[in-house]
Amino acid sequence: MLLSDSDAPRVAQALVALGAVRIAAHQPFIYTSGWASPVYVDAQLLMSDVVLRNEIMDMAARRVQPLVAARGINAIVGTESSGIAFAAWLAERLDLPMLYLRKRPVGWDITAQLEGRLPADAKVLLVDDVTTDGRSKAGTVAALRRAGPLVEDVLVLLDYALYAQQASTLANHGLALHALATWRHLHEALLASGTLSAAQQATLADFSASPVAWSIRNGGTGA
């Protein structure tokens, strides 16, 4: 679910202005999920631009506050390493405890993968930068739940919102996904920037129309 239709174009414009969107010149990008794509978004660049970072995180905090109140969320958890900074900035603005989830456990008890201390009756919001089809987020939440907290919501800066199986994946794991922007907004911002060649425009249009077929044709997964 998009947190705000009115804010999403600005988030996309900020990512484009940062140079965070890379378009493949020859070889496609292969995501960890296995999808082949002509585009890669390095949202971590937002960390280094104080003005844009503050603007986007202020926006995120403002838009997610009603969700936090409605759900009774009492802690923010970032994923290692892509979600840690964004989780910290969001937790600061919301005046909530912040933790992060390691990719692999370090230790032996049920909290060996989780750094920080959960509050009593923990209900957390998981924060990351980007999601494609939701599978990695479902896996992350499964690991987080083993540490004890209730997790029903995930927040990302960018949701590609292109892959049909995402909805069922999230539903099967009892998750609601919330995003500041989607690929549609990013694509529109790229077109408006006037920086794309005709060939790049054609490639992105082809990808947007059928990302699964594009992935298969370019050596990625199809499911």
Q: Is the dihedral of CA 50, 52, 58, 60 positive or negative?
A: negative
Neighbours of 199 (CB within 10 A): 9
7 labelled ligand-binding: no
Whether residue 129 is annotated as binding a ligand: the answer is yes
Tokens, residue 138:
């479902």
**Tokens read off for 15:** 């990512």
* Ligand-binding site membership of 111 (annotated): no
102 is in an annotated binding site: yes
For residue 203, say whether it is annotated as part of any ligand binding site. Answer: no
Nearest partner of 211 among 201, 221, 198, judged by Cα: 221
The two structure tokens encoding residue 74 = 């009492």
Query: Any residues with CB less than 8 A from the CB of 133 and at least 6 apart, and which?
Result: 33, 35, 160, 163, 165, 166, 169
Whether residue 215 is annotated as binding a ligand: the answer is no
Helix axes 198-209 and 183-193, enclosed angle (nearest 10): 170
Contacts of 198 (CB under 8 A, 6+ apart): none
Annotation-wise, does 19 bind a ligand?
no
153 is annotated as contributing to ligand binding:
no
Query: Token pair 């900035």 is at which residue?
Result: 89
Q: Is 58 annotated as a binding residue?
A: no
Peptide linkage before 4 cis (omega within 30 of 0): no
Taking each continuous run of H as one helix and of E as one strand, the counts in the chain are 8, 10
Residue 134, annotated as binding a ligand: yes
State yes or no: 135 annotated in a binding site: yes
Give the residue ranges of the annotated binding site for 5-phospho-alpha-D-ribose 1-diphosphate: 102-103, 128-136
Give the residue ranges of the annotated binding site: 102-103, 128-136
Give the residue ranges of the annotated binding site for orotate: 132
